[in-house]
Amino acid sequence: MTTADPLVGTTLDQRYHVEARVASGGMATVYVAHDRRLDRRLACKVMHPSLAQDPSFVRRFINEAHSVAKLSHPNVVQVYDQGTDQGHVYLAMEYVPGQTLRDMLNARGRLAPADALEVISPVLAALGAAHQAGLVHRDVKPENVLLTEDGRVKVADFGLARAVESAQQGTTKTGTVMGTAAYLAPEQIERGAADARTDVYAAGIMLYELLTGSQPHTGDTPISIAYQHVNEDVPRPSRAVPGLPPQVDTLVTRATERDPRYRPGDAGQYLALVLNVKSALPAGAAAGPTAGPQAIGAAPAGGDGNDTLVVETGGLPDAAPVEPDYGDRGRNRRLDLDYRSLPVIVVAGVLAVLMLGFGWWFLVGRYEPVPDVVGMHQQDARAVLGDIPVQVEVGDKRVYSQEDPGSVAKVEPAVGERILPEDTVTVFLSKGPQTVEMPDLVGQSAQDARAALEDDGFAEIVEEETTSQDHPAGTVISTDPEPGADADREAPVTLTVSEGFEVPDVEGLQQDQAQSTLQEAGLQVSVTEQPSEDVPEGEVISQDPAAGGTVSSGDSVTITVSSGPEEIEIPDVTGWKVDDAKKHLEELGFKVKVSRLFGGDRVTRYSPQGSATEGTEIELIASPFAPQGGDDGGGGGRPGNGNGNGNDD
């Protein structure tokens, strides 16, 4: 426990308050933390920064965490949550007070057979549940087996090795392999292949270590240990600890066959074998072989020893049976019988070997297991399957999986199933995980958002429109699921899209009032003027867009304001004959009033002058002294000239 760690005292994601560091390994550091939201104590496993900086690792780590979180079993350390905060990639897990199986082995040495089977059984139960769910641990070892204070056994770190392996593909990093070389199956070392049977192999190595107190293959370097796994069989535990029951020897050698075809198919099958042997152990097997009355690892002082594993020392092989002495005559008779029956025995032996060989070939030998090509690119998978050889077909449809899109997601027949050469193996390519992180589409156009979701493989996209003065019409206001949340690509995704808002009705308002109303709604205003006989000057005649139309904040609305009735230019009719001037003005839309002085018939003056609205009354004042006009539409002449031209009344 230390407080020097910079994470101690901080809070991850504003939820997990880190209290103390409890352990550190090759991949991560484990802390005790307090969940402020649910008020409980838990463990936070924070990945080392070198891994957290690798995007491929973070993506794989999140996907694996989602898969493991769905695994619920009393012998599996439960994963509650995962996340990233300021560069820290972490898992929030069940807190298990106690020690690791490695701690117990370091303190007590080897275990008696019954005790070893008692420990390995819940480990296999946890692995079996994972295998049934399609998960492979890949890193089974005593360090990942936790022993609780109340005697329970729990397995941790499902999927973590897979995430690290994925992040390290194509690089020269070997930290993961080096850290677990003692438990790696040959096919993991040779081909990088891992399935349920590789977990069974590691469990067999761990059972060997429980029974003997040491690992079957040792060396100065991880490479030398890995070489032994590939080229040497795991020895029977009784070679290291004479006197172990042969059934227990068989449990170890069966699980650690170098050819995975001869191992139990998964941890559930191996558990069934372990339980059968456990129930059939002879009396006294629980105490183990002894070399004397002394034992180590007894219950501590003050305890009753009921929850303590007993580990004893020594152990001698059983004495060889003594053959009875029949004397010389008996021995000679026995030799004579042996010589006479030797040819029969040889022939029978040869026939037995041939029959066994044929039977093995017919039932087993001619078959090949489907190799683990899951996660490989299509071309690499074809190459591996072609070594059998088999026919390879690619499935018509891609399937959801935790593998990278385009890589092999699953095969039919399944990995490990036996097939004949030239059989057909169908590989199904991955279209990525079914559950992905929801992208942030807020502010994008609905069209662009839909295209992005379709590119991500979402099958059902629903749009719902709502009024908004804060978001332009046609843009995304929110999504369901929310950005950053887990989104099922087979489930509907709802886009809430802004439809803008209705234009306020400002027709009939004074210009100032109309402009203020529109500007308060977030709209730009343009003003034009237009004469109107019906609308008073200064009032809004019309607007574009019309009232009730849809706009977005910042859009422009044009209002047309009345400039009052249109005025008509009043022509200069001075000097015109009254009748001609009146007719012309009335044709222009004016009313005309005539005032004659002394019976005059020519316009001396008129009022008003300039321009006036249609219907305005114009007064014409006629006088006999008015000057004669020019082109007045007819008949005018200079008055009083006596020549009879014009009107000289």
Would you name the residues annotated as active-site residues? 139
DSSP 81: E
Query: Rounded CA gap, 19 and 67, in Å?
Result: 28
Q: Which residues, other chains included, contact 38 with Cβ-Cβ below 8 Å and sequence gap of 6+?
A: none
Please say whether the beta carbons of 581 and 539 come within 8 A. Answer: no
Largest CA distance in the chain: 196
Comparing CA positions, the residue from 631, 624, 617 lying closest to residue 573 is: 631
Task: Centre a 10 Å sphere on the Cβ of residue 461 and count the other Cβ atoms it contains.
Answer: 16
At residue 440, the 3 state secondary structure works out as coil
User: Phi first, then psi: what are they for 271, rounded to 5°?
Assistant: -60, -40
In the chain, the amino acid numbered 544 is D
Query: Rounded CA gap, 516 and 591, in Å?
Result: 41
Query: Rounded CA gap, 190 and 234, in Å?
Result: 17
Q: Which residue has the tokens 């426990």?
A: 1
Instruction: Measure Cα distances from 414 to 379, 404, 539 in Å.
Output: 19, 19, 81
Please say whether the beta carbons of 453 and 420 come within 8 A. Answer: no
At residue 567, the 3 state secondary structure works out as strand
Task: Give CB contacts under 8 A, 24+ apart, made by 50-59.
Answer: 51/27, 51/89, 51/164, 51/167, 52/84, 52/87, 52/88, 52/89, 53/87, 54/167, 56/166, 56/167, 57/89, 57/163, 57/164, 57/166, 57/167, 58/84, 58/89
Query: Rounded CA gap, 229 and 192, in Å?
Result: 14
Please say whether the beta carbons of 119 and 101 come within 8 A. Answer: yes
Give the dihedral of Cα atoms 232, 237, 242, 246; nearest 10 deg. -110
Exposed/middle/buried for 182, CB within 10 Å: 0-12, 13-18, 19+?
Answer: buried
Task: Centre a 10 Å sphere on the Cβ of residue 580 and count the other Cβ atoms it contains.
Answer: 18
Please say whether the beta carbons of 318 and 289 come within 8 A. Answer: no
Give the dihedral of Cα atoms 206, 211, 217, 218; nearest 10 deg. 100
In the chain, the amino acid numbered 60 is R
From first CA to last CA, the distance across the chain in angstroms is 133
Q: Which two tokens stand for residue 371?
A: 């190799």
Helices (H), 405-510: 446-455
